[in-house]
Each structure stands twice: as C-alpha cells, then as structure tokens.
C-alpha cells in the first residue's frame, strides 16, 4: 500500500473515532437531560381538573410537581405556577410515560395528544418542534412514533397556543411490556415553553347490539315492527310547577329538604291520615325516620313526623321496606325484611292526626306488631328465598307470598297478632324454581276482564335466556293460583325486551281500566319503558322520558335514578317520586346537583 493511501485510511479512521466520540458525548448530554416522569393518577396531576384524573385512558401532566429540575419555568405558565422550558436546538421536555398495560392495549387504536405551547419571539422564525406521542418496547425501541409538527409558518410567538393532533394506531404491532411516551422535541434555536400536556386514548364505545331495525332510505313508508324498536316516546311530566328541585318539593324547612333528597331508604303508603286516601313517604336518614305528605297549598312534601330510632328498632337501619295493608285496616303497615339476619318485623305508624302542610314535624310513633325470622315461614323445611306483598283478593288486605327455591309457594295473612298460612302449593311453579329461572312478580290489573287482582310473573330461563310471562289470579275457593294467561301450552306468552332482571311497577292512571305497566332497567343505561301485550307478547310499546325538569338536568342522566310510586297527590292516581343523584365519590355534583321530582303520567292515545 502506498504512503498516500496509508495516510488516507489513517485520517479516515481518526475521523470516525473523533465523530463517534463527539456523538457519544452529545448523546450522553441529551440522554442525561431526559427526565422521565411516570404518570400516575394522583402524583402528577395534583392540581389538574378532577375530570382528567378520574378518567381512565387519559395521561395528563401540568408540571406542577416537577420540583428541583432545571426545566421548570416559574415566570410564565398556562395553568398553575409552572411550565417547562424547552430551549434551544435538540432539547426535550420531560417525557411523560405510562405503561400500556395500565391503559389497556385495546384502548390504543386511537390516540390524541395536546399541549399548550409558548414560543418566545427571539428566534421564533426558526421554530421547528414536534409534540411527540410514541410507544416504545422494553428495549426502548420505537414501536409507534407520531408527532404534531410545530413550525414558524403557522405559529404565532408571544402567546400560549394549543397544539393537538390525533392518530390511528395499529395495536397489533404493540408487543407486551410497552410504554407510552409523550414529550416535546425542539429541533430549532427557538425558546419554547410547554404546559398541560395530555394524551387521550381510545375511541367512543360503539353502540351495543347487532343492526338497525328501521331503514327509511327506501321508497316505502315505514311500518313499525311490533315490539321492536325504535319506539315512540311518551313523557312523565313534573307536578312541581316552579321547576325547582328539592328546595321547592320539600317545604317546611331546609333540614327537611336535605333529608328527603338524601334519603336512600324510602317507601310509600297510606301510613296515617287514611281519610285523604293519599300515600305518604317514609324516609330513613342516618338513624332517624321521617314521614312526609304532599301539601296542596304549596305543592311540596312537608315533613309531618320524625323520630330518632331507638336501639330496639335498629332493624329499620338494615332492612328493605315492604309497605302494604297487611292488617286490613285503614292504614298501611311496613314489613321490614333484613336479608342479612334473615329476620322480618312488621311495624305500623301510631300517629293518627296531622294536618298536611305542617309547619314543624311532630314526633313519629312507630309500633312493632310482630318480629320473627325466616324460619317462621318455612315449608317442607325450607325458608323462603323471596317475600312478595300481594293483593290476591278484592278485599283490601295484603297477603304475603313466600316463594321457595324449588318453586313451591305459600301465602300468609297477618291475623290479629301473627302470620297464618292460608294457602300453599301442591306442586311447585316451575318458573319460580330458582335453579331454572330468575323471576320477578308485579301485582296489578292486567286484563280488562279481571274480576280480582292479578299477579304478573316474568321469568327468564337460566339456560336459554328466553323470557316468558304468566298472569295469575288467586282462587280463594281452592286457595291456589289459576293461570289467567296462557290458557294452553300453545298460547304465546313470550316477552320481547322484557326479562326478569328489570324492575317492574304499575301505575294507576286516570281513565284506565288496566294498570299501566312500566319496566325500569338501569344496568347499563337509564331505561324506562311502557309495556303492553301486543298479540299476546309482552313487549315494549313506548320509551319513557321526562319533561319539566330543571335546567336540562334530565333524571335519566344521573348515575342513580330511584323511583317511588304512590298516590301522593290524588287518591287512586299514581305519581312517581324520583330521586336523582350522583355517587359522591365521583365528585360530579357540580355537573348535576341532586334533585327530587314528582312526575305524573297520562296514558298516550293509541
């Protein structure tokens, strides 16, 4: 090899070594300056809007807790006290990280990133930066790299501006153990501040269900498919005229307002002053019971009585309330069912006089008529799995239907001071067999030819998830249930969109000979439907919605919507007292304040 060539290769080698050393130096410099911040919910978002901390799939960082690093900038921020400076060529903001496993890979099919950026006027003309969203594997290789480019042609210096972008991502390319990273990379001399960096992941959850039933893009006029959506809407209308929430619904004092609206254990019945034939409300709040009635003068519920529960009455605190006219007297009693201790107690309200519209509540007198446990109601050695207060005869006295796990049943009446069995099954009702079905019962009048009260039983098979219904009436001569419908095995008694998992209640509506049957389901959404027997299928006829509520705060938007039916304002006409509230731990009170409404209903004209 010639001397010249030797010199050339030596120089080249030297150049390579020097280049490598320089690169290594700057790489260390950059890497050393890269601050990684793991985005955990509370630690990094201490000053952030609660909204962002409560939502899954959101990474949010406002640099308020980045103490002690030289990147923190105190003189200017978009929110809070601090922002982060990203000054000069090839500089980086702290990298906000979150493990993919914490977000969920299924959420990463789409991601959006945003931040607030401030560019100082000096060298702003050279601005070239990227707001980066990346996903790296456990070896720090970029699996996904997306960016929002920020250049001087479009960016005005000297003011905070929001930068954002959104990207589709191929989640199939993301292996296990990856990390999401969000940061700003400044590839220019410009001096940049960044604040309030946020990453959102995921798409809107798609609609449930298979396909639409209704297509109006053809030439034919649309005909409703009986029992299938879309259903027309009918409305529950408020009875409260001032369109205010609980402060107008509960009239006598502020303390009462808060109690009624906050009460979660409530029941309705004609507990006192039976002469006005109106239902009153009994509400449990903390360790006290309160009794309310509707005051026509100011269209509010007034607290008539209240009491602090004594220790011997502590069963009130742990029980489900089952009000009914068990004794056959003028007033209703309350059967308390404590499922934890498997005990029951029957109480009545001893107060006899109270005008409505009381200015100040008097002492509530509760008296226990009977107390016992489930074994009292045993049949063939089994205790009931469910208790149902039911009207079985035209006589205004409620019986207690006890159902056992094998489908057998027994009817009790409260006679004088004790429960007496008045009827029991010879053979079990198959649709009440707990191992085969889930069932629910609702009493009322469901056929126009009914001579006595009826019981509607809706059962859903555990095996095939199909639902069916039976209308029963009680044969007092034979002390057994007769099936009003279906009459034969070939009769259609299917249900559509009505199963045993929903709550059913009936309304007495002006001018109606049969009860209006409503179905309420809040398992995944507020869903209130009016049911009807269409060609003998029990199915949905209408959607129910509300009118007259305050400020667009529709009761169906709340995390919890609780109904209490009763004839509160008119004898024999049912209205719905409706509690609307959000879960306190979700801190959404400012979005939807707790509300209490009284709704009425008119049957739609068919």
Partner 1 sequence: MARTTIFSAKTPHLLLLLAVFACFFLQECSNDKRGVKTALFEVSDFVPITNWKQETALDSMQVKYQVKYIELDYTDALGGFVIPSVRQLNNGFEYTFRIKNLSAASRVFSYKIYYQNESYKMPETDPEKPEAEGPWAWENFYGSFDGNDIGFLETPPIPADGKFHEVKGYIRITGNPRNEAKFFKDGVNDRWKRNPRVGLYSFMLVVSDKENIAQKQIPDYISHIALTFNDRFVNPYYYFLYGPGKKLQNTSAIKMDNALKVVAKPNLGGGIFIDFEDNNKAAVNFTDNCGRSPEITRNACFRQFQHYVDASSKFDNIPVIKDVVGDDYTLMEYNWNKSFFTKEELIRTWPMVAREACKTVISDSKENKLILINPASSYGDWKKQNAGVITRHGFSFGTYTVKAKLTRLLSNSGVWNGIVNTIWLLNQSNDAWNNRRICQKEGYLETYWGGPNDKRVPSISYSEIDFEILKTVPYCPPHSFPPAYLPSMQDKKNMLSWHTPLPEELEQQKEDIVVACTNWDMACWEPKNFGAGCQPISYKDQTFYSHRWDHWYRAITQKSLEKDKELFAGDYYYFQIEWKPTEIIWRIGPEKDKLRVVGYVNNTVTSIPNNQMLLIVTQEFHNSKWWVGTPFQQQFIPFPEKDIKGEIFEVIIE
b/e code 213-249 from CB counts within 10 Å (16+ = b): eeeeeeeeeeeeeebeeebeebbbbbbbeeebbbebb
Q: Considering the rule CB under 8 A, would residue 300 count as an interface residue with partner 1?
A: no
The only residue of 201, 300, 331, 467 in contact with partner 1, by rule CB under 8 A: 201
Strands (E), 286-429: 288-295, 300-308, 320-324, 333-338, 343-349, 362-363, 366-373, 386-391, 398-403, 409-415, 418-424
| Gyration radius from the chain CA atoms | 34
Are 97 and 78 within 8 A, CB to CB?
no
- Is residue 230 reached through a cis peptide bond, with omega within 30 degrees of 0 on the bond before it? yes
Structure tokens of 116?
């607030």
Q: Considering the rule CB under 8 A, would residue 386 count as an interface residue with partner 1?
A: no
Q: Considering the rule CB under 8 A, would residue 208 count as an interface residue with partner 1?
A: yes
- Is residue 486 reached through a cis peptide bond, with omega within 30 degrees of 0 on the bond before it? yes
Q: How far apart are CA 149 and CA 129, in angstroms?
A: 6
Q: How far apart are CA 108 and CA 167, in angstroms?
A: 10
Q: State which residue, 215 or 535, has the beta carbon closest to partner 1.
A: 215
Q: Considering the rule CB under 8 A, would residue 524 count as an interface residue with partner 1?
A: yes
The only residue of 32, 209, 311, 511 in contact with partner 1, by rule CB under 8 A: 209
The only residue of 40, 46, 54, 173 in contact with partner 1, by rule CB under 8 A: 54
Q: Considering the rule CB under 8 A, would residue 203 count as an interface residue with partner 1?
A: yes
Q: State which residue, 216 or 340, has the beta carbon closest to partner 1.
A: 216
Are 144 and 105 within 8 A, CB to CB?
no
Size of the site for partner 1 (CB under 8 A): 67
Phi, psi of 287 (to 5 degrees): -115, 25
| Integer angstrom CA distances of residue 42 from 48, 68, 71, 421 | 9, 19, 21, 59
Q: Considering the rule CB under 8 A, would residue 231 count as an interface residue with partner 1?
A: yes
Structure tokens of 564?
């209490």
Q: Considering the rule CB under 8 A, would residue 212 count as an interface residue with partner 1?
A: yes
Q: How far apart are CA 582 and CA 593, in angstroms?
A: 8
Q: State which residue, 137 or 522, has the beta carbon closest to partner 1.
A: 522
Q: Considering the rule CB under 8 A, would residue 528 count as an interface residue with partner 1?
A: no
Per-residue binding letters, 147-186, with partner 1 (x by CB under 8 A): -xxxx-xxx-----xxxxxx--------------------
The only residue of 5, 31, 416, 525 in contact with partner 1, by rule CB under 8 A: 525
Q: Considering the rule CB under 8 A, would residue 213 count as an interface residue with partner 1?
A: yes
Q: Considering the rule CB under 8 A, would residue 202 count as an interface residue with partner 1?
A: yes
Phi, psi of 249 (to 5 degrees): -80, -30
CB of 118 vs partner 1, minimal distance in Å: 13
CB of 95 vs partner 1, minimal distance in Å: 18
Q: How far apart are CA 359 and CA 304, in angstroms?
A: 8
The only residue of 19, 88, 104, 230 in contact with partner 1, by rule CB under 8 A: 230
Q: State which residue, 102 or 405, has the beta carbon closest to partner 1.
A: 102
CB of 60 vs partner 1, minimal distance in Å: 11
Q: Considering the rule CB under 8 A, would residue 591 count as an interface residue with partner 1?
A: yes
Q: Among the candidate windows 38-46, 437-445, 498-506, 583-591, which touches partner 1 by CB under 8 A?
A: 583-591
CB of 529 vs partner 1, minimal distance in Å: 11
Q: Among the candidate windows 27-35, 217-225, 301-309, 455-463, which touches partner 1 by CB under 8 A?
A: 217-225
User: Environment class of residue 178 by beta-carbon count within 10 Å: exposed (0-12), middle (13-18) or buried (19+)?
Assistant: buried
Q: State which residue, 421 or 602, has the beta carbon closest to partner 1.
A: 602
Q: Considering the rule CB under 8 A, would residue 232 count as an interface residue with partner 1?
A: yes
Q: Write the CB contacts of 106 (distance below 8 Å, at least 6 apart in sequence).
A: 171
CB of 97 vs partner 1, minimal distance in Å: 18
CB of 199 vs partner 1, minimal distance in Å: 8
The only residue of 414, 582, 598, 601 in contact with partner 1, by rule CB under 8 A: 582
Q: State which residue, 230 or 328, has the beta carbon closest to partner 1.
A: 230
Q: Among the candidate windows 15-23, 214-222, 307-315, 353-361, which touches partner 1 by CB under 8 A?
A: 214-222
Q: State which residue, 153 or 275, has the beta carbon closest to partner 1.
A: 153
Query: Which residues sit opposite 440 in a β-bridge?
Result: 458
Q: State which residue, 219 or 489, has the beta carbon closest to partner 1.
A: 219
Phi, psi of 11 (to 5 degrees): -65, -40
Per-residue binding letters, 56-75, with partner 1 (x by CB under 8 A): -xx-----------------
Q: Considering the rule CB under 8 A, would residue 145 count as an interface residue with partner 1?
A: no
Q: Write the CB contacts of 9 (distance below 8 Å, at least 6 apart in sequence).
A: none
Per-residue binding letters, 542-581, with partner 1 (x by CB under 8 A): ----------x-x-xxxxx---------------------
Q: State which residue, 205 or 490, has the beta carbon closest to partner 1.
A: 205
Euclidean distance between the first and the last CA atom of the chain, given in angstroms as a whole number: 106
User: In the range 99-138, which residues lie near partner 1 by CB under 8 A?
Assistant: 110, 112-114, 131
Question: 419, 272, 439, 282: which is closest to 355 by C-alpha?
Answer: 272
Side-chain half-sphere CA neighbours of 297 within 13 A: 10
Q: Considering the rule CB under 8 A, would residue 522 count as an interface residue with partner 1?
A: yes
User: Environment class of residue 25 by beta-carbon count within 10 Å: exposed (0-12), middle (13-18) or buried (19+)?
Assistant: exposed
Are 393 and 476 within 8 A, CB to CB?
yes
The only residue of 11, 90, 224, 503 in contact with partner 1, by rule CB under 8 A: 224
The only residue of 97, 265, 298, 588 in contact with partner 1, by rule CB under 8 A: 588
Question: 577, 496, 527: which is closest to 233 by C-alpha?
Answer: 527
Q: Write the CB contacts of 324 (distance below 8 Å, at least 6 apart in sequence).
A: 269, 332, 333, 335, 389, 398
Q: Considering the rule CB under 8 A, would residue 220 count as an interface residue with partner 1?
A: no
* Residues making contact with partner 1 (CB under 8 A): 51, 54-55, 57-58, 110, 112-114, 131, 148-151, 153-155, 161-166, 198-205, 207-217, 222, 224, 228-233, 522, 524-526, 552, 554, 556-560, 582-583, 586, 588, 591-592
């Amino acid at each position: 090899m010639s001397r010249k060539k030797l010199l050339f290769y030596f120089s080249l080698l030297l150049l390579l070594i020097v280049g490598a050393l320089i690169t290594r130096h700057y790489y260390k410099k950059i890497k050393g300056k890269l601050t990684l911040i793991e985005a955990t919910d509370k630690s990094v978002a201490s000053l952030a809007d609660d909204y962002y901390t409560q939502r899954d799939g959101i990474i949010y960082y406002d640099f308020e807790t980045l103490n002690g690093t030289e990147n923190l900038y105190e003189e200017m921020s978009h929110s809070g006290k601090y922002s982060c400076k990203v000054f000069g060529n090839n500089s980086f903001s702290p990298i906000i990280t979150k493990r993919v496993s914490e977000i969920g890979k299924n959420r990463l099919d789409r991601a959006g990133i945003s931040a607030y950026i401030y560019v100082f006027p000096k060298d702003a003309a050279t601005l070239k930066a990227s707001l980066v969203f990346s996903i790296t594997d456990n070896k720090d290789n970029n699996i996904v790299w997306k960016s929002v480019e920020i250049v001087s042609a479009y960016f005005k210096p000297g003011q905070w501006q929001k930068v954002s972008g959104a990207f589709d991502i191929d989640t199939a390319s993301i292996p296990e153990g990856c990390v999401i990273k969000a940061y700003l990379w400044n590839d220019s001399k410009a001096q940049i501040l960044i604040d309030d960096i946020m990453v959102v992941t995921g798409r809107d959850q798609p609609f449930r269900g298979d396909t639409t039933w209704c297509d109006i893009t053809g030439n034919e006029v649309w005909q409703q498919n009986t029992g299938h959506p879309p259903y027309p809407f009918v409305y529950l209308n408020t009875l409260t005229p001032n369109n205010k929430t609980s402060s107008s619904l509960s009239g006598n004092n502020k303390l009462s307002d808060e109690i009624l609206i906050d009460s979660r254990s409530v029941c309705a019945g004609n507990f006192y002053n039976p002469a006005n034939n109106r239902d009153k409300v009994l509400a449990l709040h903390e360790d006290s019971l309160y009794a309310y009635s509707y005051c026509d003068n100011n269209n509010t519920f007034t607290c008539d009585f209240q009491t602090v529960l004594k220790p011997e009455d502590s069963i009130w605190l742990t029980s489900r309330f089952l009000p009914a006219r068990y004794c056959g007297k003028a007033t209703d009693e309350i059967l308390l069912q404590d499922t934890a201790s498997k005990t029951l107690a029957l109480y009545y309200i001893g107060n006899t006089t109270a005008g409505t519209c009381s200015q100040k509540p008097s002492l509530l007198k509760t008296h226990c008529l009977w107390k016992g446990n489930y074994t009292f109601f045993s049949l063939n050695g089994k205790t009931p799995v469910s208790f149902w207060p039911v009207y079985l005869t035209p006589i205004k006295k409620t019986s207690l239907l006890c159902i056992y796990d094998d489908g057998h049943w027994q009817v009790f009446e409260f006679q004088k001071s004790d429960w007496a069995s008045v009827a029991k099954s010879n053979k079990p009702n198959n649709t009440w067999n707990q191992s085969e079905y889930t069932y629910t019962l609702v009493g009322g009048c469901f056929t126009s030819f009914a001579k006595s009260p009826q019981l509607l039983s809706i059962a859903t098979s555990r095996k095939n998830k199909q639902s069916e219904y039976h209308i029963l009436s009680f044969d007092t001569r034979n002390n057994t249930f007769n099936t009003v419908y279906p009459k034969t095995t070939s009769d259609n008694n299917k249900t559509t969109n009505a199963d045993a998992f929903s709550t059913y209640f009936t309304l007495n509506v002006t001018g109606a000979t049969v009860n209006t049957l409503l179905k309420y389901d809040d398992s995944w959404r507020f869903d209130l439907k009016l049911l009807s027997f269409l060609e003998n299928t029990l199915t949905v006829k209408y959607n129910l919605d509300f009118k007259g509520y305050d400020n667009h705060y529709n009761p169906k938007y709340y995390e919890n919507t609780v109904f209490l039916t009763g004839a509160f304002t008119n004898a024999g006409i049912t209205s719905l007292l409706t509690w609307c509230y959000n879960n306190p731990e979700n801190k959404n009170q400012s979005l939807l304040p707790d509300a209490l409404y009284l709704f009425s209903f008119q049957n739609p004209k068919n």
